[in-house]
Amino acid sequence: MKCRYVYVVASGRNGTLYSGVASNLARRIYEHRTGAVDGFTKRYGCKLLVWFEPHSRMEEAIIREKQLKGGSRAKKISLIETMNPDWCDLYENLNS
């Protein structure tokens, strides 16, 4: 079963946050890390994968992403710290 992911990348602990959705999370985070695509994450240095959530359908992932984007910063930080209290970069463990 193929997963779709909603994710949050950050510039650092309590730094700038960006939420997105991807069908290939490892590839998409690699693009953020290397600055392969111009845009918000490249401009603000959002390279650390600090949170993600799998979904079985893209429609579900997009709805969840919109919830995150419409929510407060405090809610995003709470979500991150529930899964990843030390704000570790989760990218390194994606392919493990």
Q: Model confidence over 25-84: pLDDT tens digits?
A: 999 999 999 999 899 999 999 999 999 999 999 999 999 999 999 999 999 999 999 999
Strand, coil or helix: what is 59?
A: helix
Half-sphere exposure of 12 (CA within 13 A, CB side): 3
pLDDT at 33: 94
pLDDT surpasses 80 at 21: yes
* 9 part of a folded domain: yes
The pLDDT of 12-20, averaged and rounded, is: 95
Q: Which domain holds residue 95?
A: 1-53+87-96
Q: What would the two tokens of residue 16 be?
A: 């700038």
pLDDT at 94: 84
pLDDT surpasses 60 at 96: no
* 3 part of a folded domain: yes
pLDDT at 54: 96
* 75 part of a folded domain: no
Residues in CB range of 39: below 8 A, 6 or more apart: none
- What DSSP character marks residue 7? E
pLDDT at 25: 96
pTM: 0.94
Asked if residue 51 lies in contact with residue 84, where contact means CB atoms within 8 angstroms, the answer is: yes
Cα 6 from Cα 27, distance rounded (Å) = 14
